[in-house]
Amino acid sequence: MASAASVASMASAASVASMASEDGPPSTPRHTSPQECTMPDTLRPKELPPAPPAPPRPGALRSSLDVEPLTCTIGAEVSGVSLADAARDDDLFAEIKSLLLQYKVLFLRDQDITRADHIAFAERFGALEDHPVAGSDPDHPGLVRIYKDLDSAPEHYENALHTDGTWRENPSMGAVLRCVESPPVGGDTIWVNMTEAYRRLPEHIRAQIQDLRARHSIEATFGAVMPEDQRHALKARFPDAEHPVVRTHPETGEQILFVNAFTTHFVNYHTPANVRFGQDYAPGASHLLNYLISQAAVPEYQVRWRWRKNSVAIWDNRSTQHYAVQDYWPGVRRMERAGIVGDRPF
């Protein structure tokens, strides 16, 4: 498996995003597009494709909705809204969804909502999915409990840069993650804009990978610690999925670099265009895959969020990766996640 472990340590260098707020105008939400804080053209490589325009926003804007971008490329904090209300209000939900398409991950504080509210909001995006290893809350199907305390078994699935469920034929569309209990310090999560990671690749790399496809495996990750018969049963249930290395976002049309810690190898690299001698394929293909996976470790593409009780993150899993920092032992961190069924990448 081409692992992101060699680059995960770089991810912790991302700065904790500023949470400062200001009073916005009373008539419309305070909102700054990340396109307003891009680097000057004189500092940009000339071959970069233009940044895609922000998705159109619904016309019915809410005066109580306050939006604070956290970096120039990804993430915004939203306040003045309860997700329990958004679960039942079509216009409010449409505004939040539009912001999600633009910022790729949204953060909210003080969401003292019930598990039923959590599920109801997440289901506005689509049906919820179970996890074959982690399982769901028995009383709330689709709500995965990610609880870490002193009695938790050591594992290292979260603290790798990854996109959820790419080992599925239809990877997750996104997720709504709520903090139930946070450590006094530590336990942050990092998200990465993989649209920007693709856009800023060298032109010849973009051309080389445009038609490549790759395999993604649950057997080589979650299944690695299982006895052989269980590991084989897991793979029989979830055969390695094949996805494009560059996927297209089904709603925005953006192109996305779509390889991560679940990606094991290219399936159509060994062609005359790429291979002159055997070493061009092995290790050449692995070198290229590891280079692509390492792009998620670039801090300029990242945002880092510090959790508190009742904080929520909503992310678009199609265009992001994330990394849960496991630096909080002996602290306790309890999270609840509703993952949303996605579509097949193209």
Say whether 131 is catalytic.
no
Single out the catalytic residue among 118, 162, 168, 304: 162
Say whether 337 is catalytic.
yes
CA distance 156 to 153: 10
Single out the catalytic residue among 31, 199, 206, 337: 337
Single out the catalytic residue among 66, 164, 188, 316: 164
Say whether 164 is catalytic.
yes
Say whether 318 is catalytic.
no
- When computed from its CA atoms, the radius of gyration of the chain, rounded to whole angstroms, is 20
Single out the catalytic residue among 31, 215, 322, 333: 322
CA distance 61 to 91: 8
Q: 119-158 burial, b for 16+ CB within 10 Å, e for fewer? A: bbbbebbeebbebeeeebeeebebbbbbebeeeeeeeeeb
Please answer whether residues 159 and 186 qualify as being in contact, where contact means their C-beta atoms are separated by less than 8 angstroms.
Answer: no
Which residues are part of the catalytic machinery? 162, 164, 322, 337
